[in-house]
Structure 1
Amino acid sequence: MKTKEDTLLMQDLLAHDNIQKNLAVPQLAEKILNRGEGVLSATGAVCATTGAYTGRSPEDKFIVRDNMSDEHVDWGEINQPIDETVFDNLLQKVTAHLHNRDALFQFRGFAGADPNYRLPIDVITEYAWHSLFARQLFIPPTKGELETHESDFTVISAPTFKADPDTDGTNSETFILISFEKRIVLIGGTEYAGEIKKSIFSVMNYLLPQNNVLSMHCSANVGQEGDVALFFGLSGTGKTTLSADPYRRLIGDDEHGWSPNGIFNIEGGCYAKCINLSAQKEPQIYNAIRFGSVLENVVLDPSSREPDYDDTSLTENTRAAYPLENIDRIVTPSVAGHPNTIIFLTADASGTLPPISKLTKEQAMYHFLSGYTSKLAGTERGITQPEATFSACFGSPFLPLAPSRYAEMLGDKIDQFNSSVFLINTGWTGGSYGTGKRIKLSYTRAMVHAALEGELATIETVTDEIFGLDIPLHVPGVPDDVLVPKNAWADKQAYVNEAQALAVKFHDNFSKFTEASDDIRKAGPVYKG
């Protein structure tokens, strides 16, 4: 609960002599260019760079341990606790720092497209381009909503304020602090705009389950017959790319809630990776990056200002933020019914998981809790090549509660709505990273289409001898020899060795889920080492 002192600090911040409130997109673009925060690309998008921090800083993220959070948060390496006094001291320092800036920018809007579950938010930034980012990623209010808007959570972003770990109690100059009691997110020392987006996602992952809503790190779309599909996966696995389907309407590309009424988008925009983006491979995303969009760490041609999406000199984690309406086929508002199909995406760097497999409910729960993928270069500081990782619920960095809480909710909903679940590998085939090749996007799209259209229901399958997964022997548009991983490897024994090593990693990781039932535990890889 906010104290009188907290309220006075916020009032002082909002009383800044030059605070710019809910500026329109053209106004923000003008401010960005005039202040030298970014340049205009040939497509009309604003292009900004983020300096040393080109990805999230998970080791610098903390949750304030107080009377409200103490018994609910799953404390540990991911949800690091920090003392209330540390937060209070930094809040005072940051507000004093911002009060001395030449201008501040305030965005007032919402997280959550369903009015029954949306969260009114304020985002206060010292950069105009961060305010434009927030405007495009969250849900702007109507004129009437703005007049009655009362924030329930505030994000304060001060990238030029750098903490002193020795005196401020942080791990570095960067900090992302969430206080559920004070309803404030405090960000400093990093210009990476993704921290703003993901901090609110963490907040929603704390609040929504308390209202019987499953919060999910997934994209979602809907077909011509009203059938809904979810795509789970960590950054770089293909959620945004695969949900932007010219034959389906987009609900959202990254964050959703599953309420008793159905699916709703938490955001109002998309935050797409731009690495190797092309009009041929991803036309919807490519064409969405126009005036009002924000390009992050994308290199421009110095003469033409054309974006070079193949240039990784700044980072491989190049990004574009744009509003949903920049996509041709969207659901308005971003709500839909209950999902018919759920797809787990993994970018397997070992090259041994099947490109597609049909999961039983128990296998779905096992792989949801496991959340296996490979961290791809640039998504976090220090990641320069794919690195095997297990991220519970395909989003553990953003889950304040225990993974079992989200998994139990998903299992109940799969039962209730009879959703089909598939595991799709968008990673490597024919060998591990460095030897094999990335699975062609055209093949992955064909597999997704077959899963969504029910074309795999009667196709013969074979059970993988190591992972225990049922692999379809034929998928329209995909060569048969791609479907069974072992067949794509020239060195069969090398495949077996890699697959067995990955199976052992699965079992080792799952050992921490002591609350999982025997049926779920037995749904993992057959090989145990």
Structure 2
Amino acid sequence: MTSVNFANDLKELLTGQNVHVQLSVPQLVEAATSRKEAVLTREGAVKAETGKYTGRSPKDKYMVEEESSKNKVDWGNVNRPISSEVFEKLYAKVINHLKDKDALYVFKGFAGADHESRVPIQTINEYAWHNLFAHQLFIRPSAEELQTHEAEFTVVYAPTFQADPEVDGTASETFIIVSMEQGIILIGGTEYAGEMKKSIFSIMNYLLPEKGILPMHCSANVGPEGDVTLFFGLSGTGKTTLSADGNRKLIGDDEHGWSDNGVFNIEGGCYAKTINLSRENEPQIYDAIRFGSVLENVVVDSETRIPDYNDGSLTENTRAAYPMQAIDNIVDPSVAGHPKTIVFLTADAFGVLPPISKLTKEQAMYHFLSGYTSKLAGTERGITSPEATFSTCFGSPFLPLHATVYAEMLGKKIDEHGVQVFLVNTGWTGGVYGVGSRMKLSYTRTMVRAAMKGELNTIPTEKEAIFGFEIPTEVPGVPSEVLNPRHAWADKAAYDKKANELAQEFQENFKKFGTVAPEISVQGGPTQK
């Protein structure tokens, strides 16, 4: 029997005179600036710095090993187990730490725009700007919904509390611990607000499959005819750019669920990268950063208060958080029908993947499990030439269950709804990075729009020899010579060699799935000459 009464401890904490519940955006802005947690930019955004940690701390993230979850969770480097005893002791320390604070801020809201499956959540924050972040990122309740709101999951966030690894059983002073049974997410030792967003996404990745809903790390938009498209892709592949289409409405830019009713956004806001942001290239994001938005680690001029989005001196991972309603062309509420098209985006720096190809269901499952793109030389310390990188289901850090659970759900839904799946390479053509050239964005947009309109469904295809892709022989508005990557290389033997090398990288990565997905590997994976 647990020695900690979680419900009573939370209730006691939240009845203190220092607790501020559901403050408005202006109130939170005032609190954050008056307490010197943050400053205002010229446009009225709140700018805060997160100190030592300017990104997630994956090695400090844990799940409590509990009776109900221990045989379901895919334990390992992503889902690190921690005992109930360690969690309880740390939780009690954090609660005592927060009781002594002169102010606490509580946000009550929801994860999931679908009313049938949404999860009531709340955040308890030591910092006002963290609470403002939660207010902008999660779904805000109506006054009527607030009256009956009972949180199923509570984020307890104490950035100024640091764990003692030798005493508390953690790897460092930082911890992000999820208890599914207690409905608690305990965060301490880091000021990076994105830990809240991704922890909530992780619990949704645990809960939704039990309801027959596929959680997805993707963006989604919908056309005038109600046709929905999903965009999966890792950083640098063009997901945000391609899903922002003036002729289509944005459902959401990062996290979605796919239920028997259709697609819905899990969030109520956007958490966009801002490094090198400009109005010319990304007008929707640029114009959304205004009063009430939150900027993380963006350098701001101390006198003019103008942000310098090109300055990455604090971190390359500069971010902006703002509500969906800050964007004009959206679906509100963020729900739509079943997808007609799925686009997997990759930026292949080896120049061997086609700019667009049609996938079978098995290939879709294979490439969903693979989650491939490439890192470029200079993007990370020690990388001197392009490297293949894989992130399972395009979101491996956030998957509590075994990856094949999500892949099998995807395959089933592709069958049920007759979805067309395309792999789109926004990377290099005509040679590897440094030799070839990057695929023109105008060509990629044209190909993606043709796929969404169904124009590629009747165009003849040719089969690529190594990966087995079906490549359209023509796309209106795109030169035919760029469609087959082998044709774009002057040295065909060099292309074959590089394509086989990449195929080997895929096959080596897929070995981690062992015998659980042999059919997917055989039917959906590459072969070699």
TM-score range, shorter chain: over 0.9
Q: Distance in 2 between matches of 1:314 and 1:433?
A: 28
Q: Does 1:416 align with 2:389?
A: no
In the alignment, the residues of structure 1 paired with residue 233 and residue 417 of structure 2 have an alpha-carbon distance, to the nearest angstrom, of 21
Alignment map for 1:39-78 (pairs within 5 Å): 39-78=39-78
Partner residue of 2:163?
A: 163
Unaligned runs of 5+ in 1: none
Structure 2 Cα separation of the partners of residues 185 and 221 of structure 1: 31
Structure 1 residues 453-507: Cα deviation after superposition (integer angstroms, max 9, x where no partner): 1122233433222222122243344444443334444555544433222110111
Distance across 1 between alignment mates of 2:483 and 2:296: 36
Report the CA distance shift for 1:12/1:115 in structure 2 as closer, same or farther (over 3 A). same
Structure 1: distance between partners of 2:312 and 2:383: 14
Matching residue of 1:522: 523
Aligned counterparts of 2:380 and 2:35: Cα–Cα separation in 1:
28
SS in 1 for 2:330: coil
SS in 2 for 1:185: strand
Name the counterpart of 1:265: 265
Give 1:22's aligned residue. Answer: 22
1:433 to 1:26, Cα distance in 2 relative to 1, 3 A:
farther
Q: Say whether the 8 Å CA contact 1:138–1:267 is kept in structure 2.
A: yes
CA contact (8 A) 1:55 1:380 kept: no
Mapped partners of 1:311, 1:492: distance in 2 = 41
What amino acid does structure 2 have at the position aligned with 1:296?
E
2:247 alignment counterpart: 247
The answer to whether the 8 A contact 1:431-1:489 is kept is yes
After superposition, the C-alpha distances for 1:385-440 in whole angstroms (9 at most, x for unaligned) are 97532222111211111111111111111101000001112333444445555444
Per-residue CA shift, 1:113-160, capped at 9, x if unaligned?
A: 111000000111111111111111100111111111101000111112
Contact 2:388–2:505 (8 Å) recurs in 1: no
Residue in 2 that maps onto 1:154: 154
Q: TM-score, normalised by structure 1?
A: 0.94
Q: CA deviation at 1:258?
A: 0.8
Alignment of 1:273-312 (within 5 A): 273-312=273-312
The residue type paired with residue 451 of structure 2 is A
1:63, 1:177 within 8 Å by CA — same for their partners in 2? Answer: yes
Q: Which moved more, 1:20-29 or 1:6-15?
A: 6-15
Aligned to 2:447, what secondary structure does the other structure show?
helix
User: What does residue 397 of structure 1 align with?
Assistant: 397
- Cα drift, residue 226 of structure 1: 0.6
Distance 1:411 1:381 in 2: 37
Cα distance, 1:68 vs structure 2: 1.5
CA distance 1:510–1:394, change in 2 (3 Å): same
Question: Which structure 2 residues correspond to residues 461-480 of structure 1 after superposition, within 5 A?
Answer: 461-480=461-480
Identical positions, percent: 66
- The aligned counterpart of 2:500 is 500
Hey, what does 2:369 align to over in structure 1? 369
Note closer, same or farther for the CA distance 1:441–1:290 as it changes in structure 2 (3 Å cut): farther
Mapped to 1, the partners of 2:129 and 2:380 lie a distance apart of 21
Question: Is the contact made by 2:350 and 2:386 (CA closer than 8 Å) also made in structure 1?
Answer: no
Matched position secondary structure for 2:341: strand
Deviations 1:358-405 (A, max 9, x none): 111111111111111246899999999975322221112111111111
Aligned pairs for 1:432-447 (under 5 A) are 432-433=432-433, 436-447=436-447
Alignment of 1:291-370 (within 5 A): 291-370=291-370
Shift of 1:285: 1.8
Q: CA deviation at 1:163?
A: 1.6
The CA deviation at 1:250 is 0.9
Amino acid at match of 2:36: G
Change (3 A) 1:301 1:521: farther
Is 2:97 the counterpart of 1:129? no
Aligned partners of 2:122 and 2:406: how far apart in 1? 27
Rounded Cα–Cα distance in structure 2 between residues aligned with 1:503 and 1:270 = 35
Residues 1:13 and 1:438: Cα distance change in structure 2 (over 3 Å): farther
1:183 aligns with 2:183: yes
d(CA) in 1 for partners of 2:270, 2:503: 34
Task: Give SS of 2:218's match.
Answer: strand
Aligned partners of 1:2 and 1:182 also within 8 Å? no
Could you tell me how far 1:343 is from its partner in structure 2?
0.9
Q: Which residue of 1 aligns with 2:141?
A: 141
Partner residue in 1 for 2:198: 198
Aligned-partner SS, 1:106:
strand
Instruction: Flag the 1:221–1:517 CA change in 2: closer, same or farther, 3 A.
Output: same
**Matched residues, number:** 528
* Cα distance in structure 2, aligned partners of 1:452 and 1:380: 34
- Report how far residue 17 of structure 1 moved: 2.6
1:376, 1:116 → 2: CA distance? 43
Greater shift, 336-345 or 9-18, is seen at 9-18
Quote how far apart the aligned CAs of 1:279 are.
1.7
Partner of residue 31, structure 1: 31
Partner amino acid for 1:524?
G
Cα gap change, 1:471/1:302 in structure 2, threshold over 3 Å: closer, same or farther? farther
Equivalent residues of 2:222, 2:336 under 8 A apart = yes
Contact 1:246-1:284 at 8 Å conserved across structures: no
Which amino acid is 2:525 matched to? G
Partners of 1:9 and 1:478 lie apart in 2 by 62
Residue 90 of structure 2: aligned partner: 90
Q: CA deviation at 1:276?
A: 2.2
Closer, same or farther in 2 for the Cα pair 1:293/1:487, shift >3 Å? farther
Larger CA deviation: 299-308 vs 69-78: 299-308
Q: Deviations over 1:139-196 (max 9, x none)?
A: 0111111111101000111112122222211112211110001110011111111110
Please say if residues 343 and 421 of structure 1, whose CA atoms lie closer than 8 Å, have aligned partners that are also in contact.
yes
Q: Distance in 1 between matches of 2:298 and 2:365?
A: 38
Mapped to 2, the partners of 1:377 and 1:167 lie a distance apart of 41
Distance 1:93 1:498 in 2: 55
Contact 2:229 2:452 in 1 (8 A): yes
The letter of the residue matching 1:498 is K
Report the more deviating stretch, 224-233 or 437-446.
437-446
CA contact (8 A) 2:349 2:375 kept: no
Pair 2,412 (structure 1): closer, same or farther in 2 beyond 3 Å: farther
SS at match of 1:362: helix
Unpaired segments ≥5 residues, structure 2 = none
Under a length normalisation based on structure 2, what TM-score does the superposition of the two structures give? 0.94
CA distance in 2, matches of 1:11, 1:519: 49
Matched, 1:114 2:114: yes
- More displaced stretch, 469-478 vs 268-277: 469-478
